[in-house]
Structure 1
Amino acid sequence: MGYRFGRADVEFLTSATGREALRTCAELPLTSASRMADVAAARGVAGSDFAGAVLETVLLRRKSVEKLPGFSDWLFTDEALQQATAWPVALHRAERIAGLPVHDVTCSVGVDLAALGTRASTVLGSDVDEVRLAMARHNLGLAGSVPWLTRADALRPVSRAAVVFADPGRRDKAGRRSWRPSDYAPPLGELAEVYGNRELVVKCAPGIDRSAVPWAREFEVVSLDGRVREACLWAGALAGPRSTATVLGSDGSAWSVTEDEPDDCVEREPGAWLVDPDGAIVRAGLVRQYAARHGLGQLDERIAYLTGDHPPPGVRAFRVLEHGKFREKSLRQALRARGVGKLEILARGVDIDPDELRNRLKPKGEAAVSVLLTRIGRAPHAFICEPHRT
């Protein structure tokens, strides 16, 4: 659960004494072996009342580096950092709302507010948690501007006309991640009802069932560097095609596939390459549109693996070395013949545990390959491949 911050902690951490304590403790190892020494050092500069807040903040800032590079002086709670939007994803969403006034009704510690502030005409922020609001005020000051912030329930509107953005909490009462719309805080259906006459944008977990949010005119799934990060629900005039997959890279690259594109791909025999589409494309249900765009075919209409003679750019593709119906004994023999010792196993549409299969295969040698296991019709097939990043 992490350290439970209070207003006094935020006031201390933003004071001159607190900032100096954070600087002093920034180089502590913070390992299980150094725990006693770390606590003693923190108490020496922050006192027993605030040592925990200092150590937790140093730890959270280290964790934030990958998701939020450049936010090294921000304040977080553990849960707020876990749910915070990765910066390229936040900027992508801000681009879609550029030039309009926006009210973030669940602003937390201010990550999305900071991104929206770079593009929106006016930015407002509110949250029910006074500690996170205090952190947001500090964080946004570091970002160069502090928008209007107030404590308010997201389901009790305190603004008019502005686009409403919400990032509801995604844990149920038992502390588990939840994808049911009614378990979000605030519930998604209530958000849609309260802001039914406004432009509404809601960030959700990517595993949400789109049929459970019929009010969303557009269902956008976003990935970053090959990892699916979120689903974004768009209601109102800002919504685009019914389904969108957006693929972002930390290098600034960005491209999308939409439901409006042609989906005339065919089933075909395996070609020279297999392509595993980005997870955003699979989650958004746009495998056929992606395949049609790049002249690829499906091995089976129910499986996301695609095949063709030339892989599209910017994806992980697999050059097929050999393939056939999957039999464990035959696969073991083929791998031994190739001297395979480094083995990646990917599986779709078959009830096979890759880790257990790898242990049974006992790969030994210097060669490295990927084995893709999938179903074609009713029969499981195995593809021995060389992986490539195109």
Structure 2
Amino acid sequence: MAYPFSDADVAFLRSAEGVAALRACAGLSLRPGDRIADVAVVRGVAGERHAAAVLETLVLRGKASSKIDGSADWLFTGDALQQASASPVARHRAARLAGRDVHDVTCSVGADLVELARVARRCVGSDLDTVRLAMARHNCGRAEVAATVLRADALRPVSTGAVVVADPARRDGSGRRTWRPADLLPPLDELAEVHRGRDLVVKCAPGLDPALTPWADEVELVSLDGQVREACLWTGGLAGTARRATVLGSDGTQWTIAGEEPDEVPSAAPGEWIVDPDGAVVRAGLVRHYAARHGLWQLDERIAYLTGDTPPPGVRAFRIAEYGPYSEKSLRSILRRHEVGRLEILIRGLDVDPDALRRRMKPRGTEEATVVLTRVGRSPVAYLCRAERIPATGAPGNGTGPAD
């Protein structure tokens, strides 16, 4: 269970004494095996009263280091850090609001607010949680951005003219993820109704069904380093297309595809390669658009796997070595013939557990391979492939080998 920070905790952590305690304990390992020793050190430095808050802050800063840029001296709660956007995703969203007046009505500890404040003309952040507001003020100060932070209810507007940005809480009291708009805090439909007529941006979980938010003019699915991070809802003058997929990389790479692009592609026999589109493209329903852009086609019109003779640049693609009707007996024979010992299994359209199948195959060779299992029409098909990372130039590179 996450540590319940109090207003007094935050006041101490922001004080000279608290800052000194955090710095003095910054070198602790924080590994589970060192827990007792670390607690003793923190108690000796910060005292019994503040030890838990200091220790939790050190742990959260460690977790934040790979998610939020420049957060080494920020303050977090566990839930706030978990819900905060990774910096590349927050920057991408903020870039679409550059030069505007922006009000983040669920600013929490300020992770998104900081990125908004870097590019907005004027920026306001508000929340109901006084602990998180105090942390947001601290974090904005450490990031050296100008943002007004105040206490306000997202469902009771206190600003006019500004773009409204919101990130409703996505967990209920039991800690389970919730997907119904009415279960979010604040509820999506109420949020949209209260701010009707204003440009609205709402960050949601990627599993949210867009049909449940008909008031959204654009739904943008965003991935980072191959993992789908969010569905962002845009309204009014901010919307540029009904559906969009944006693919971000931690290395600064970025591309996007929209629903207005051509989507006429055939379903046909496999080419030299199989391509598994980024999850943002799949969730946005833009697989055919992506195929048309890159000269690919579908193996089956109902399956997201694509194929072609030249894979798109910058992707991990799968060069087909052999394929045929799938059965466990035939697959075992193919693996022996190709001397496969290390095996990755990718599946779409079939009810097969890849881990259980790998155990049953008992691959014992010296080669690496990827097996793509899918169906074409009603027939299950297995493709034995070699995975390769395609560089940005688009030319096939060295094989990367399958994942564990």
Partner secondary structure for residue 133 of structure 1: helix
| Distance apart, 1:7 and its partner CA | 0.8
1:370 aligns with 2:370: yes
1:256-276 deviation per Cα after TM superposition (whole angstroms, max 9, x unaligned): 110000110110101100000
Q: For 2:370, what is the secondary structure of its paired residue?
A: strand
1:21 CA displacement = 1.2
After TM superposition, give the deviation of residue 175 of structure 1 in Å.
Answer: 1.5
CA distance in 1, matches of 2:292, 2:269: 16
Give yes or no for contact 2:324–2:382 (8 Å, CA) kept in 1: yes
Shift of 1:22: 1.0
Show CA shifts across 1:162-197 (max 9, x none).
000000100023220111111110000000000011
For 2:356 and 2:375, how far apart are their aligned partners in 1? 19
1:234 aligns with 2:234: yes
Secondary structure of 1:91's match? helix
Kept in 2, the 8 Å contact 1:109–1:132? The answer is yes
Corresponding letter in the other structure for 2:162: A
3-state DSSP of counterpart to 2:357: helix
Q: In the TM superposition, what whole-angstrom CA distance separates every residue of 1:254-313 from its partner, at most 9, and x where no partner exists?
A: 111100001101101011000000000000000010001111110111100000011011
1:188 and 2:196 aligned: no
Deviations 1:236-259 (A, max 9, x none): 111011000001111111111100
Q: Secondary structure at the match of 1:26?
A: coil
Q: Which moved more, 1:212-221 or 1:26-35?
A: 26-35
Residue 324 of structure 1 corresponds to 324
Q: Equivalent residue for 1:337?
A: 337
Q: 1:346 maps to which residue? A: 346
* Stretch moving more, 330-339 or 136-145: 330-339
Shift of 1:33: 2.2
Match of 1:79 in 2: 79
SS of alignment partner, residue 168 of structure 1: coil
What corresponds to 2:286 in structure 1?
286
Equivalent pair of 2:118/2:145 in contact (CA under 8 Å):
no
Q: Distance in 1 between matches of 2:55 and 2:372?
A: 45
User: Shift of the alpha carbon at 1:26?
Assistant: 1.6
Tell me the CA shift for residue 203 of structure 1. 0.1
Q: Which residue of 1 aligns with 2:176?
A: 176
**1:214 match:** 214
SS at match of 2:237: coil
Deviates further, 146-155 or 129-138: 146-155
Amino acid at match of 1:379: S
Query: What SS does structure 1 have at the residue aligned with 2:374?
Result: strand
8 Å Cα contact 1:316-1:387 kept in structure 2? yes
Matches within 5 A, 1:301-312: 301-312=301-312
Amino acid at match of 2:26: A
| In 1: Cα distance, 2:306 partner to 2:321 partner | 16
SS of equivalent residue, structure 1 residue 33: helix
Measure the CA separation in 1 of the matches of 2:145 and 2:385: 52
Matched, 1:15 2:15: yes
* 1:87-102 pair list within 5 angstroms: 87-102=87-102
Q: Which residue of 1 aligns with 2:402?
A: none
Please tell me whether the aligned partners of residues 321 and 383 of structure 2 are also in contact (alpha carbons under 8 angstroms). yes
Distance in 1, matches of 2:173 and 2:16, equals: 38
Q: CA deviation at 1:146?
A: 4.0
**SS of residue paired to 1:237:** helix
Which consecutive aligned stretches of 4+ in structure 1 deviate over 3 angstroms post-superposition? Answer: none
Query: Equivalents in 2 of 1:150, 1:368: separation in Å?
Result: 56
Q: Secondary structure at the match of 1:118?
A: helix
Deviations 1:22-61 (A, max 9, x none): 1122222223322221111111011111101111111111
Cα distance in 1 for residues equivalent to 2:356 and 2:159: 55
Q: Distance in 2 between matches of 1:173 and 1:52?
A: 23
| SS of corresponding position for 2:191 | helix
**Structure 1 length normalisation: TM-score?**
0.99
The answer to whether the 8 Å contact 1:344/1:370 transfers is yes
Match in the other structure for 1:382: 382
Gaps of 5+ in 1: none
**2:103 aligned partner, one-letter code:** H
Q: CA deviation at 1:117?
A: 1.1
Structure 2: gaps (5+ residues): 391-404
Conserved? CA contact 1:137–1:146, under 8 Å: no
2:395 aligned partner: none
Aligned 8 A contact 2:201 2:233 in 1: yes
Contact 1:22 1:54 in 2 (8 A): yes
Matching of residues 223-302 of structure 1 within 5 Å: 223-302=223-302
Instruction: State the match for 1:159 in structure 2.
Output: 159
Which shows bigger deviation, 170-179 or 210-219? 170-179
DSSP-derived class of the 1:66 partner: coil
Contact preservation (8 Å) 1:342, 1:369: yes
3-state SS of 1:247 partner: strand
Q: Identity percentage over the alignment?
A: 63
Question: Which letter does structure 2 place at the counterpart of 1:31?
Answer: R
Q: Is residue 324–residue 383 contact of structure 1 (8 Å, CA) maintained in 2? A: yes
Map of 1:361 onto structure 2: 361
After superposition, the C-alpha distances for 1:108-144 in whole angstroms (9 at most, x for unaligned) are 0101111011111000000010000000000000111
Structure 1 residue 65: deviation in Å? 1.5
Give the CA deviation at 1:5: 0.3
Structure 1 residue 69, shift from structure 2 partner:
3.0
Scaled by the length of structure 2, the TM-score of the pair is 0.95
